[in-house]
Amino acid sequence: MKLIVAEKPIAAKRIAELLAEGKVTEERINSVPIYRFERNNEQYVVIPLKGHIKDVDFPKRFSSWIGTDLKELIYSDVEYAEKEKGIIAVLKEYAKKFNVAIFATDYDREGESIALEALECLQEANPKIEAKRAVFSAITKQDIEKAFSSLTELDFNLANSANARREIDLIWGAVLTRYLSIITRKLGREFLSAGRVQSPTLALIVDREKEILAFKPKPYWEVEAIFEKNGQKFSALHKQGRFWEKEKALAVLESRQPFGKVAKITVKKKTLKRPEPFNTTSFLRAATSLGFSAARAMSIAEELYNLGYISYPRTDNAAYPATINLRAIVEKLTKYGPLASDASEILAKEKLIPSKGKATKDHPPIHPVAVPKEKLSKNHEKIYELICRRFLATLSSDAVVETMSAEILVGKEPFIARGQHYLNLGWKKVYPYSQASEIILPELKEGETIKLLDMKIHEKETKPPARYSQSSLIKTMADLGLGTKSTRHEIIQKLYARGYIKGNKSIVPNRIAFAVIDSLEKHQCIILKPEMTANLEKEMDEIALGKRTKDSVVDDSRRMLSEVMEDLLKNRATIGQELRKALFEDKKQFPCTDPNCDGSLVLRKSKAGKRFLGCTNYPKCKVTYPLPQKGTIEPLEEKCEYCGMPMIRVKGKRYSFKMCINPNCKTKEEWNNRIKERNNAKQQE
């Protein structure tokens, strides 16, 4: 008999089905599904975990936030406490029956750490049990067969690298979170969180918002000419572009004549290179541009991987290894309806030469490995098709566009008309997420005159820098070494969950985010500097390479945090006062709806824990409004079209909609309908 340990139930079942030579039977022990099958006349048992089966935590004496010495907490021991007791009991029971355990968890730092936890549980019951490792990047028949025919050893350095991160993040997160929550008196569910990666990421968002608020727009003017040739109208802008003085733009208008003369025509061919294969960062950037949150996109990708439809979605690699049979994958996609025609066209090529980005020794780039056997949910289908189309785009030809620039003189004033059209759509044909826009100019010849229909001045002003989107924030985090491919989406989700940021397309920090970052910046807290956390990331990489030990890196981080806390503890009274003031301001939603009251409606909680809007002048003013008990509440600068009362937006993980605060308004009915729709959608997935 052989024991296999998988990371999740869905992966365990899939691996059993791929290895079995006959039927796979399932039984449950302690609610844990156990999969049995036969292979080469030998019995196999697959036990699934649920990710980490142990939690990193402090000893119980530090469980009370109030009264804990934070400096002592920094240097406290870290314990690995049993979390999934049912799974651990099953592992220990089966350890007595086996001498070899094969670990088939995800092959990355986290997967290796999870495997090590399981191995330690097995060894408690059977110290002589031997560990083997199955390494694969996709849960397909070919990949799994290959992995189990060439088993390797567990990589303890890789596991220790992941465990170092867990311990460091626990220590930094717990100490800073307790500090902020205690000095603001925000304990319980509404605590203020901080962390080694979370805080510098929030600082990026706040600092960008400060740039936007400090930005002073500068007016400028553009002069546009409208020409016509053979009934076709087209536009040209003055060659100077922006006029910073209106008088100079007006002077151009005075040169107006009935005709313009084509002075020069420039035609160029431009190659638009096909995109690189998806690594985790580029995948998340593409998925968020389609309206998914980074966390949701990664969750769907992991589910598609466990179902055996795509390769492992956590990778830095952007170059396909030579071992991947690209043609075989394209052949499979010819059987997938939405892509059948495009895949067939690519398959007709004599040679498939893919684009190539930065190659690493990581998993291969994210790519499809199989066509779904069952109907996918709408969101799963969108993500699957995005990955497939990116794969096909990397095997397509470059796009070629012809650009034309025509300089047209109106008197002595030069105007430029620009046009472009595609000579070869190439990869843009299979990848509609990157638009192929064309501007067609009429046929123009140097020296000819064309009719001038109109000349206009457009008054504009300079724009502030754009807010971060989830896509641009993930790229900036990657550039600065903040977090890893596996954690960046989780950090962003945490900032939303803690109420520090809001907004879908662009990220907006709330008042409390400003207060937290301002206070930490004022006291020159190094946690806000990306270099600090990036250096720790490098040290964790050195653990994976065997150049550093876990304990030495964790101790380095403890000393660093101790220095940070020296100043923060010294100034706790000032920082606490600043943050409490910001928290109160952040609660304000609207002016009180009583015309005789000068108070504000703020978020409050009843003794029963129910949230509602109440007036700051209570008990003098007793105006209150009930609120939905789930989802974040965002005040809107608009009034209800039915009753004229203030509007709010209610946002959850998979829904976002507007409603009125008036409980008797028609929007209440719409809210109830949305809840039903959300529950139905959840059941379908």
Which tokens go with 605? 């909680």
Which tokens go with 330? 């394209």
Which tokens go with 296? 């949701």
Which tokens go with 395? 């095997």
Q: How far apart are CA 403 and CA 264, in angstroms?
A: 14
List 600's β-bridge partners, or say none: 591
Closest to 74 (Cα-Cα) out of 572, 566, 573: 566
Residue entry with tokens 């703020």? 602
List 43's β-bridge partners, or say none: 38
DSSP state of 593: S
Tell me the three state secondary structure of residue 361.
Answer: coil
Instruction: Report the run of H or E that residue 171 belongs to, with start and end.
Output: helix 156-184
With contact defined as beta carbons under 8 Å apart, do 564 and 525 qualify? yes
Closest to 489 (Cα-Cα) out of 310, 316, 304, 296: 296
Q: How far apart are CA 447 and CA 421, in angstroms?
A: 23
Q: How far apart are CA 593 and CA 579, in angstroms?
A: 27
Q: How far apart are CA 492 and CA 291, in angstroms?
A: 15
The Cα diameter of the chain in Å comes to: 96
312 in catalytic set: yes
Angle between helices 280-289 and 294-306 (to 10 degrees): 120
Active-site residue identified among 35, 179, 312, 384: 312
With contact defined as beta carbons under 8 Å apart, do 664 and 677 qualify? no
Q: How far apart are CA 489 and CA 436, in angstroms?
A: 29
- Give the CA distances from residue 237 to residues 219, 401, 409, 416, in Å, rounded to whole numbers and listed in that order: 17, 21, 11, 5
Instruction: Report the run of H or E that residue 502 belongs to, with start and end.
Output: strand 501-502
List 229's β-bridge partners, or say none: 232
With contact defined as beta carbons under 8 Å apart, do 554 and 167 qualify? yes
Residue entry with tokens 């100077």? 240
- Catalytic annotation, residues: 312
